[in-house]
Amino acid sequence: MSLAPGTAPRRRLDGLAEADIAQATGLYQVLREDGSCDEGELGPELTPLKLLEIYRGMLVIRVMDERLLALQRQGRIGFYGEARGQEASVIGSAAATRPDDWILPALREAGAGIFRGMPLSAYIAQIFGTGDDPCKGRQMPCHPGWRGANYVPMSSCIATQLPHAVGVAWGMKIEGKGRVCLGYIGDGGTSEEDFHVAMNFAGVYQLPLVIVCQNNQWAISTPQQRQTAAETIALKGLGYGLPSFRCDGNDVLAVYSTVAAAVARARAGGGASFVETLTYRMGAHSSSDDPTRYRDEGITEAWKQKDPLLRMRRYLEHKRLLDPARDAELAVEIEAEVRAAVAAQEAAPPPPVESIIEDVFAEPPAHLREQLATYLSERE
């Protein structure tokens, strides 16, 4: 990785080096599938504690998703979108941030919010849409947001969050506290105009911004080849003058190292970067989807061998930081926490009806107060 903070020059077409193209077309990897790795690639900040923290963050996603998907199948929650298979992309990138950095997520980054301190109970309250939801039950499941973790709730619209990330990064730039904004997108989202707008603004303004594309190769039923004719998604960044990198999105240490270098560069005033993490959507798009209708699940089976948790677990076992017993204990701990939060939310009341007119504006104007009063009088 040749990405020294603060040193990258503005990219010019005639200045594009072989190395720039290689970084955007190759696949940077740190952990081999057997869990071995070249330790020289790892920064000194990846202490045993941090490595275990990263692994736990990944495990939280896996355990939580399994549990919540099961609840959806039982009809206890209305909808669920899991991130199975993408845990390395989510946590590897989030682990490269500081608490005062911001995250503008796409659909599958809730684990990043939780990793950064969003309580599991808040996430699950959002899924149930109860009065405990910090977002007051305003959106369907899997649209969490938690100001305490600077984790901004997404809309269901695709790519709209990236221009927001540009604006947040602009605020950070003029504030000058060395904060960085991470904006996430999926492979499907790279076809949207807001992606191109944001990439263009990011390149022009040299902002403290890292745009991370989790390429899970499927946008519901549409494969990557139907989304773009570009050889890789990372290549798109070069056209916008952004240093662009492609890494193995199932290798949490490759994702971490790539994003950490981009974050460091952004923090030092070196401008925005673009990172593609190549991963695979092991599950369905959501609980409303059935991938057997449109894709060869034999390929999905093959990707199971590249399971990001398996690879990180093997690495930690090599390093004697984890053993199967401790791993099982961790999963039990997490599942107990999930089950307790679910039980609490199944018993929690919905938001009060009066809250329906709150937060449209800072103060409900007269016409909204009148609509609520009419509703309440008719209900009696």
Partner 1 sequence: MPVMNIIQAVNDALRIEMRRDQRVVVLGEDVGKFGGVFRATSGLFEEFGPDRVIDTPLAEAGIIGSAVGMALYGLRPVPEIQFADFIYPAYDQIVNELAKFRYRSGGQYPAPVVIRTPYGGGIRGGHYHSQSPEAYFVHTPGLKVVIPSNPYDAKGLLLSAMRGEDPVIFMEPKRVYRAARGEVPEGDYTVPLGQAKIVREGKGITVLAYGAMLHTVIEAAAKAAEAGIDAEVIDLRTLLPLDLETVLTSVRKTGRVCIVHEAPRTCGYGAELAALIAEKALTSLEAPIERVAGFDTPFPYTLENEYLPSPERVMASMRRAVEFQ
Active site residues: 281, 285, 294
Q: Does 55 bind partner 1 (CB under 8 A)?
A: no
Q: Does 146 bind partner 1 (CB under 8 A)?
A: yes
Cβ 360 to partner 1 shortest distance, Å: 5
Binding mask 195-224 for partner 1 (x = CB under 8 A): --xx-xx--x--------------------
* Best CA proximity match to 261, nearest among 244, 249, 279: 244
Task: Tell which one of 46, 61, 103, 172 touches partner 1 (CB under 8 A).
Answer: 172
Residues contacting 282, CB < 8 A, separation 6+: 84, 85, 86, 300, 303, 304, 307
Q: How many CA atoms lie within 13 A of 27 on its CB side?
A: 12
Q: How many residues bind partner 1 (CB under 8 A)?
A: 45
Task: Tell which one of 25, 29, 121, 139 touches partner 1 (CB under 8 A).
Answer: 139
Task: Tell which one of 88, 114, 124, 165 touches partner 1 (CB under 8 A).
Answer: 165
> Beta strand 222-223 with 218-219: parallel, antiparallel or unpaired?
antiparallel
Structure tokens at 201: 């603004």
Our CB check for partner 1 shows the closer of 283 and 351 to be: 351
β-bridge partners, 184: 212
Q: Does 152 bind partner 1 (CB under 8 A)?
A: yes
Our CB check for partner 1 shows the closer of 5 and 167 to be: 167
Residues contacting 311, CB < 8 A, separation 6+: 31, 33, 35, 88, 250, 251, 252
Distance of CA 213 to the CA centre of its chain: 9
Q: How many CB atoms lie within 10 A of CB 272?
A: 31
Task: Tell which one of 58, 60, 95, 169 touches partner 1 (CB under 8 A).
Answer: 169
| Residues 335-374 interacting with partner 1 (rule: CB under 8 A) | 358-362, 365-367
Our CB check for partner 1 shows the closer of 136 and 246 to be: 136
Q: Does 167 bind partner 1 (CB under 8 A)?
A: yes
Our CB check for partner 1 shows the closer of 104 and 219 to be: 104
Q: Does 138 bind partner 1 (CB under 8 A)?
A: yes
83 backbone dihedrals φ, ψ, rounded to 5°: -115, 25
Q: Which residues of 5-36 are buried (b: 16+ CB within 10 A; e: fewer)?
A: beebeebeeeeeeeebbebbeeebbbbeeebe
Cβ 144 to partner 1 shortest distance, Å: 10
Task: Tell which one of 111, 163, 186, 237 touches partner 1 (CB under 8 A).
Answer: 163
* Best CA proximity match to 233, nearest among 272, 265, 258, 196: 196
- Residues near partner 1, by CB under 8 A: 102, 104, 133-136, 138-139, 143, 145-147, 152-153, 155, 157, 160, 162-174, 193-194, 197-198, 200-201, 204, 358-362, 365-367
